[in-house]
Amino acid sequence: SNLGEAFVRGAGVSKDRAKGASLFEKSCAGSNPHGCWNLGKLVLKGDDDITKDGAKALELFKNACADDDSAGCVSFAEMYDRGDQVTKDRDEANKWFDRACTLGWDDRRCRDKK
């Protein structure tokens, strides 16, 4: 997943977002939930090298969250919060934000609940 980030950002290697996405896909298939989250971020936005696919991003975020990746839970919650690929549902979003907090995510939403 770190090598994928390097290619996406062009950090120490030539920037190649498609190669980064391919590495994230392998990482995700190899049971690395953060790789699923990274791939989800790329396909959610899409660009010249990566096909935009909100439904795939939603599934990747859901899988990352199910495998205890707090960032995956946050991204999954944000899609419910925005109504992106799903019916907008604040209660459902809050459920997934709460799971992220339980998994150690640290932001204002989590701190406000303490």
Hey, CA dihedral for 101, 106, 112, 114, is it positive or negative? positive
pLDDT in tens, 9-65: 999 999 999 999 999 999 999 989 999 999 999 999 999 889 999 999 999 999 999
Task: Please check whether residue 36 is in contact with residue 67, taking contact to mean a CB–CB distance below 8 angstroms.
Answer: yes
**Does pLDDT of 93 surpass 80?**
yes
Which residue in this structure is represented by tokens 């896909």?
A: 25
29: region left, alpha or beta (phi > 0 left; psi from -120 to 50 alpha): alpha
At residue 113, the pLDDT reads 65
String of b and e for 16-50 (b: at least 16 CB within 10 Å)? ebebbbebbbebbeeebbbbbbbbbbbbbeeeeeb
Confidence of residue 114 (pLDDT cuts 50, 70, 90): low
- Top-level class of domain 2-113: mainly alpha
Q: What is the pTM of this model?
A: 0.91
Measured between alpha carbons, how far is 87 from 19 in angstroms, rounded to an integer?
Answer: 33
**Does pLDDT of 104 surpass 70?**
yes
Across the chain, mean pLDDT equals 93
